[in-house]
Chains A and B, each alone.
Chain A
Amino acid sequence: MSGLTIAVPRGALMRDTLDVLDRIGVDTHEVRANDRKLLFREAGIVTMRPSDVPTYVEAGAADLGITGKDVLREQSEREVVELLDLGYGPCRMVFATQDGEDPAAEALRRLGVMRVATKYPKIAARHFQATGRQAEIVEVKGSVELAPLTGLVEAIVDLTATGITLRENGLVIREELFASTARLIANPVAYRTKAGAIDRVLETLRGG
């Protein structure tokens, strides 16, 4: 029991995150047993979508949080302290288009601009700006792979762990933007006022 409130991501990162919490002495039994409940006051755990973790941590509704580097990059304006690379949940942010001749390159050559679907509009916009290409970013909320198959866009920027979903939809990776893993983040006020408790968590996680 650390006395800290921790924002835990639901979904792919949840199991490994609960294992990490076990190591720092947080009782995760109730969380593991109860899939619907969101708030576990006794254990100091709140569960949420990974992309909501920085919101709760920045506002101080949670002292610590765990989420992917992809989320932190997309929400880079959030005032949180990034403490530790937890190493699990490895995946890559990639630029992908349909197999064969690259339709995005053709669009750039003939139309001067390519259309790119993504759930990460800021990451995508920054990438194309930094590499000097004009891109029209189309934000979608789910199944990004669908967008190029229907002619909505020529390319996508998305997160992939294995590349299987991309391949099954006839997409090939053209560029890798960065690699992502789970990160431990802290609220800037808690980082100072609860420095002792947070440092004990860090020591345990670094030591193991």
Chain B
Amino acid sequence: MTRATRLALFAVAAAGLAVLLGAAFADLPSFGAARHPYRDAAVTSAIAHHTANVVSSVNFDTRAIDTLGEEVILLASVVGVATLLRRAEGEHQRRGASGGRVLELTKFAGYQMLGVTLLIGFDVVAHGHVTPGGGFQGGVVLATGFHLLYVAGRYGALERLRPLPAFELGEAAGATGFAGLGLAGLAVLGGYLANLWPGGSFGQLLSAGTVPLLNIAVGIEVASGVVVLLAKFLEQAIAITDGGVE
């Protein structure tokens, strides 16, 4: 294909995309207006399934299949990073590597925040169907929480706190749990990821059916995935040298 043909093809495609996007944007409800058909549909379906957090209802009930796709993307990215950042030939693992000199105040703050952050992470995962948040947000909070130990200058302690094989397993288990809950919906209700028991008292911990269970599965997967991801980066930056001068 010559350059001119490629440009002509691009121009046709871009013009088509511009027309379609223009038509779609023109049909959107105006910003901040009272009329909003998608909101009405989402809120109705969330209330029907006793899910107080409408965003979670969309993510883990009506459009749970999209979330499954996102989880698989995250899984694939972490596997990709782990493959790229593995120890190559000629690289050496340094023992007893430390994070350098750390201020006493930073250490103190790191230890103080560790427990609080992990608690907030669990809370955000567990209440994703009731209040803002959910498996993804809580999972990232949990994963970053562990790394406060690194901020506090204890890379060794961080390595002991998070045995990597367990987190690699956790990532796979979270993704499998999500897909498995989907299969359960298919077996019982005839729809993949269909909500198995959309009952409970609205706004309470035990409500929204499979939404909190899917949140927990995502929480395990995201927390484990981000821990593995950051572990690979930390290992490369701190513990692996390329065999030259240290």
Interaction A to B: no
Residues of B whose CB lies within 8 Å of any CB of A are none
Residues of A whose CB lies within 8 Å of any CB of B are none
